[in-house]
C-alpha cells in the first residue's frame, strides 16, 4: 500500500522535552488518529512534518518527497488546521478567499463559499466577531478549499459542540471519498476517532507507544477485570499493563481470544481509546 506520509526516526530535543525516534506511516486514502496527553509531542511532531520547526534529525517524506527539500511542491497539496492557527481578526472570509486564491493554484472559490454557507459563516463579517467554534469552521473551510491530497489537522473540532463536531467529521469522511485525500488527525476527542480513523498512532512522553489499525485495537485488545489471586496467575508475557483499584485489578491485554483460551477469567471488557490511553500511561508493568 502506498504511503502518503512517512516519518522515520524523527528526533527533536528541547531543554525540557524530547521527541525520540518517532516512526509511523500514513497510507493513501486513510485517516490516522494521532492521540496522546497534552505535552506528549503531537503538535511538535506535526510542526516537524510541516517543516515549521527546524534542527531535527530523522526523515520525513510526503508524497514520496523530502519535506525539507521539496517543501514548496508539497505545501501546495497539504491542507492544514493547527490548534494555535489564526487569521488576522480584521479580515473577513471574503478577504481570506482573495488571499488564498493568490497562494494556491488549485484554490476553489466556489467550494470555499459553499462551505461558508454550510457552516453558516457570513462572508463579510470580520473574524473578530466570530466565536471560537466559528473560527475553527473557517479554518477547516480554508484547509479544504484547494483540494489537498493530505490534510493535517491538530484538534480541528476543538471548541465545537457535538452537533458541529459530527458535521465536521462527516465532511472529513466525504472529502476522503471524493478527493482521495489522506488525513492525519490529532484529537483529544477519542470517541470521534473510534468512528472514523483507520489507524491509531499513540504518542506518550515523546515516544510512539503503538501505531496500529483501529479495528485491531478495538476488536482484539481488552481489559481483564479480576481479583488479586487471578492476576497473580497471569503470565507476565500475556498482558501489557495493569492498574490496581480498590476492589480489583484492571489488566490490559493484546488479544482477547488468545487470553480466553488460556485463562478461566470471565470478565473481559471491550476497550475504548480512552481506556487504552489511561492504562498505557498510568498502568504498571
Whether 243 contacts 277, CB under 8 Å:
no
pLDDT of residue 244: 95
Bridge partners (DSSP) listed for residue 80: 152
pLDDT of residue 6: 96
pLDDT of residue 165: 85
Q: Please list the alpha-helical segments (H only) found in the chain.
A: 42-49, 71-75, 93-100, 109-118, 132-144, 162-179, 190-196, 214-220, 228-232, 256-262, 273-282
pLDDT of residue 68: 84
Between helix 132-144 and helix 162-179 the angle, nearest 10°, is: 0
- Give, for 237, the enclosing helix (H) or strand (E): none
**pLDDT higher at 10 or 84:** 10
pLDDT digits (tens, 9 = 90+) for 19-74: 999 999 999 999 999 999 988 999 999 999 999 988 899 999 999 998 888 777 78
Around Cβ 122, how many Cβ atoms within 10 Å? 14
Whether 236 contacts 254, CB under 8 Å:
no
Q: Which fold has domain 3-214?
A: Rossmann fold (3.40.50)
The full length of the chain comes to: 285
CA separation, residue 105 to residues 70, 99, 116, 132, 231 (Å):
17, 12, 20, 29, 60
CA distance 98 to 21: 41
Confidence (pTM): 0.92
pLDDT digits (tens, 9 = 90+) for 167-225: 888 888 888 777 678 999 999 889 889 989 999 999 999 999 999 999 999 999 999 99
pLDDT digits (tens, 9 = 90+) for 115-170: 999 999 999 999 999 988 888 889 999 999 999 999 999 988 877 888 888 888 88
Q: Which three cell numbers stand for residue 141?
A: 473551510
CA distance 57 to 93: 38
- Residue 241: pLDDT above 90? yes
Nearest to 41 by CA among 24, 26, 27: 24
Question: How many angstroms separate the first and last alpha carbons of the chain?
Answer: 35
pLDDT of residue 224: 95
pLDDT of residue 201: 97
Q: Which residues of 248-275 are buried (b: 16+ CB within 10 A; e: fewer)?
A: bbbbbbbebeebeeebebeebeebbbeb
Ramachandran bin of 147, using left for φ above 0, alpha for ψ from -120 to 50, beta for the remaining angles: left
Give me the mean pLDDT over the 246-262 stretch. Answer: 93
pLDDT of residue 136: 86
pLDDT of residue 280: 94
pLDDT of residue 111: 95
Query: Which residues, other chains included, contact 102 with Cβ-Cβ below 8 Å and sequence gap of 6+?
Result: none
Say how far residue 163 (Cα) sits from the centre of its chain: 20
Whether 185 contacts 31, CB under 8 Å:
yes
Domain ranges of the chain: 3-214, 221-282
Amino acid at each position: 500500500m502506498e504511503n502518503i506520509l512517512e516519518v522515520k526516526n524523527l528526533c527533536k530535543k528541547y531543554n525540557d522535552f524530547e521527541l525520540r525516534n518517532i516512526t509511523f506511516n500514513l497510507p493513501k486514502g486513510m485517516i490516522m488518529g494521532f492521540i496522546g496527553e497534552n505535552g506528549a509531542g503531537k503538535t511538535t511532531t506535526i510542526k516537524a512534518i510541516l517543516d515549521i520547526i527546524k534542527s531535527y534529525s530523522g526523515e520525513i517524506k510526503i508524497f514520496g518527497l523530502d519535506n525539507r527539500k521539496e517543501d514548496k511542491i508539497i505545501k501546495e497539496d497539504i491542507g492544514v488546521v493547527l490548534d494555535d492557527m489564526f487569521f488576522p481578526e480584521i479580515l473577513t472570509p471574503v478577504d481570506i478567499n482573495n488571499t488564498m486564491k493568490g497562494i494556491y493554484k488549485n484554490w476553489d472559490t466556489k467550494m470555499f463559499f459553499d462551505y461558508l454557507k454550510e457552516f453558516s459563516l457570513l462572508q463579510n463579517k470580520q473574524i473578530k466577531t466570530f466565536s471560537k467554534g466559528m473560527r475553527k469552521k473557517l479554518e477547516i473551510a480554508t484547509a479544504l478549499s484547494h483540494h489537498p491530497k493530505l490534510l493535517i489537522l491538530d484538534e480541528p473540532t476543538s471548541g465545537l459542540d457535538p452537533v458541529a463536531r459530527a458535521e465536521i467529521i462527516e465532511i472529513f469522511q466525504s472529502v476522503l471519498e471524493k478527493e482521495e485525500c489522506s488525513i492525519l488527525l490529532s484529537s483529544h476527542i477519542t470517541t470521534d476517532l473510534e468512528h472514523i480513523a483507520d489507524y491509531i498512532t499513540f504518542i506518550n512522553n515523546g515516544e510512539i507507544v503503538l501505531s496500529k489499525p483501529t479495528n485491531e485495537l478495538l476488536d482484539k485488545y481488552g481489559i481483564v477485570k479480576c481479583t488479586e489471586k487471578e492476576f497473580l496467575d497471569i503470565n507476565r508475557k500475556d498482558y501489557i499493563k495493569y492498574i490496581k483499584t480498590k476492589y480489583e485489578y484492571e489488566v490490559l491485554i493484546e488479544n482477547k481470544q488468545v487470553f480466553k483460551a488460556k485463562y478461566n477469567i470471565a470478565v473481559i471488557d471491550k476497550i475504548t481509546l480512552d481506556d487504552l490511553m489511561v492504562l498505557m500511561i498510568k498502568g504498571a508493568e
